[in-house]
Amino acid sequence: STSTNTELKQGDAYYLPPVPSVKGADTETAIIEAYRIAAAKIVSEAVDIPLETAYPGIDVGNKKADLYVAMPRFRLGGKPDPWAEKVVAHFKPDEYLSKCTSEKGFVSFTLNHDTFTRQVLRQIRNATPSSSLGTSVNPLDKAAQKPGYGSNKSGQGKKAIVEFSSPNIAKPFHAGHLRSTIIGAFLANLYEAHGWEVTRINYLGDWGKQFGLLAVGFQRFGTEEELEANAITHLYHVYVRINQEAEADPSIHDEARAFFKKMEDGDKEALALWSRFRDFSIKRLEETYKRLNIHFDSYAGEAAVKPEKMEEAFKIMQEKNMLVQDKGAYLCDLEKYKLGKVVIKKADGTSIYIARDLGGAAQRYEKYNFDKMIYVVAAQQDLHNKQLFKMLELMGHEWADRLEHVNFGLVMGMSTRKGTVKFLDEILAEAKDSMHEQMAKNEEKYAQVEDPEYTSDVVGQTAVKIQDMSARRINDYTFDIKRMTSFEGDTGPYIQYSHVRLCSIERKNPNIVLPEDVTQIKTELITEPKAKEIIYLLACYPQLVNDAMRDYQASGIVTYMFKLTHAVSSAWETLKVQGQEEELAKARMYLFLCTRDVLASAMRLLSLTPLDRM
């Protein structure tokens, strides 16, 4: 049996008698699980079923009660009402539960709010990365970036690769890449929050015959200065222009093919130019990623896939009779699986996208020995990924079932009035400007913000990210700068505002100082229903993080953040800190600071930077 709080003796205010351990219930990271087990124990004893059977039947987060049980689910025979009454008869109030009632076949448990409040807040406090409750987390502090409360160790010792963002050099960083960036960053954080060792890979589109075209274009109208200043935009302009010229003059394409051939043959000069394009582009991208609070461990893109790895994949497929020849090209027939026919090798022998993915997967497995590899790519590439995974499986790779494609829908309404493509930087600039404009309207507050440029940028990105993660991944959504940068409604700015307001409590109450030893805080003074609602929500957060691991939906976390911020905003009046008797003020401040830390934890999980002023 687990020993919750073994360091405490019976009689101590924080002592909780141990509960038996149940598979899947992690009381170390979510104390509410101990309360759930306590309820399960009562049910199991009362109607004589195993604890393991009773436990999943204890419903958390049901509006009807703190802990709610539908007796029919246990299929005990006969009407459920007498069974529910048996549970009530067996119940005795204790440190965990204070009340038990039944209605028809349903049982409601009420938590012992004294112990619950104490335990939940202390668990948050102990798990919060910033060492002092009194200071909010510095966004530049790497250690503090790690999600604290809500994280667990279930994946310890396991390795995950998350491949995301993956733009193509010289082609625009479009909305699909932005979504991949946002969702991928969240998934990588999520795996880390579950104790996994995560490698973030940006699989750059840095190979292919478009580089031949780009090189020809650069030789004609590229400049070193512009390349260094902003490689992404410059190369894109060069690329667009050379494509236009090539329409009138097809010989440009021959030149381009010849250049790419040189690259594939390892020509030093050709590769030197290519690698300058690549390096400058990465440099530019990294600035933007940094701005977005996102980093990568590797930029190994398509070019990094070794030709011998592709050849190896090709050989295995030949040996396994997976290939048919067609006019000099090689195809893999996946009609049997309703996945069509896939060209693996072209007649002219040049490598192609899917072949690079086939070789690349094996190359990564050898390098990282991953337990899980996730590709965060738009739903437009669903077929590509299904084909890829099926072929790797047919090739007999035992790790093929460790691959997962996480897809997402389209962003609509992204083209500007001029009809041009929108670059990532433009999107972020637009969001930032919109926020800056709104902030400037409140002169008094604006004057207190130390760095309005930085602040409006962070709020702007929060707006973009929250809009992206608000609905289920697969849904398309319309990019609407007005709506997402509004302070009204469930938006990113509203979340930042809520966090800022929670941070302001300390500033506004300099005379209320919390003791280092939080067991001295009189949490029993926190009794209002509003406060209970908040504490219950705080207690549920670890489960939310768990759920997200099952469906990879950031929207669950976003919905949670709005529930929490709404609960807080409706509690300011009833839970005043200012002007209260000291012990009460301390207890309430403790509650709000813990709430701030949980909100910040959730924000960081979504790659957001929590602000303390705006």
Give the residue numbers annotated as catalytic, written as ranges: 171, 174, 177
Contact pick of 102, 117, 145, 168 for ligand ARG (by CB under 6 A):
168
Q: Which of residues 271-310 bind ligand ARG (CB under 6 A)?
A: none
Q: Which is nearer to ligand ARG, 96 or 296 (CB)?
A: 296
Under rule CB under 6 A, residue 172 binds ligand ARG? no
Secondary structure (3-state) at 30: coil
Which residue's CB is nearer to ligand ARG, number 165 or number 470? 165
The answer to whether 599 and 610 have CB atoms below 8 angstroms apart is yes
Least distance CB 353 / ligand ARG (angstroms): 7
Looking at 166, 189, 293, 434, which residue binds ligand ARG (CB under 6 A)? 166
CB atoms within 10 A of CB 95: 16
- Strands 323-326, 197-201: pairing kind: unpaired
CB of 216 to ligand ARG, least distance (A): 22
Minimum distance, C-beta of residue 606 to ligand ARG, in the bound complex (Å): 22
- 353/487 with CB nearer ligand ARG: 353
User: In a 3-state reduction of DSSP, which class is residue 326?
Assistant: strand
Asked if residue 464 lies in contact with residue 484, where contact means CB atoms within 8 angstroms, the answer is: yes
> What is the edge-to-edge ordering of all strands in the sheet holding 67-70?
58-60, 67-70, 106-111, 97-103
- Near ligand ARG by CB under 6 A, which window of 55-63, 161-169, 240-248, 411-419? 161-169
Contact status: 136 vs ligand ARG (CB under 6 A): no
Closer CB to ligand ARG, 108 or 210, in the complex: 210
Quote the CA–CA distance of 28 and 122 in Å, as a whole number: 12
Verify binding: residue 365, ligand ARG, rule CB under 6 A: no
Compute the least distance from the CB of residue 169 to ligand ARG, in Å.
Answer: 9
Verify binding: residue 377, ligand ARG, rule CB under 6 A. yes
Question: Which one of the spans 65-73, 101-109, 160-168, 526-534 is the region binding ligand ARG (CB under 6 A)?
Answer: 160-168
DSSP 275: H
Q: Residue 2 corresponds to which tokens in the numbers above?
A: 């687990």
Answer for which of 299, 375, 389, 541 binds ligand ARG (CB under 6 A) is 375
- Buried b or exposed e, range 424-436, using 16+ CB within 10 angstroms: bbebbebbbebbb
Closest approach of ligand ARG to the CB of residue 95, in Å: 52
Q: Are 368 and 199 in contact (CB under 8 A)?
A: yes
Three-class DSSP category at 162: strand
Rounded least distance, CB 105 to ligand ARG, Å? 51
Which segment (4-12, 163-171, 400-408, 583-591) binds ligand ARG by CB under 6 A?
163-171
User: Looking at beta carbons only, is 52 or 286 nearer to ligand ARG?
Assistant: 286
333 phi-psi bin (left φ>0, alpha ψ -120 to 50, beta other): beta
Between 178 and 428, CB nearer to ligand ARG: 178
Using the structure block, give the residue that is written with the tokens 């929590």: 610
Residue nearest to ligand ARG (CB): 205
CB atoms within 10 A of CB 28: 15
Q: How many residues bind ligand ARG (CB under 6 A)?
A: 8
Binders of ligand ARG in range 199-258 (CB under 6 A): 203, 205
Taking CB under 6 A as the rule, does residue 357 contact ligand ARG? yes
d(CA 261, CA 471): 45
Residue length, the chain?
614
Q: Which helix (H) or strand (E) holds 109?
A: strand 106-111
CB of 382 to ligand ARG, least distance (A): 12
Find residue 205's DSSP bridge partners.
Answer: 168
Q: Is 477 helix (H, G, I), strand (E, B) or coil?
A: strand
- Tokens 């940028």 map to which residue? 457
Segment 72-131, which members bind ligand ARG (CB under 6 A)? none
Three-state SS for 50-104 is CHHHHHHHEEECCCCCCEEEEHHHHCCCCCHHHHHHHHHHHCCCCCCEEEEEEEC
Minimum distance from residue 477 beta carbon to ligand ARG (Å): 19
Interacting residues toward ligand ARG by CB under 6 A: 163, 166, 168, 203, 205, 357, 375, 377
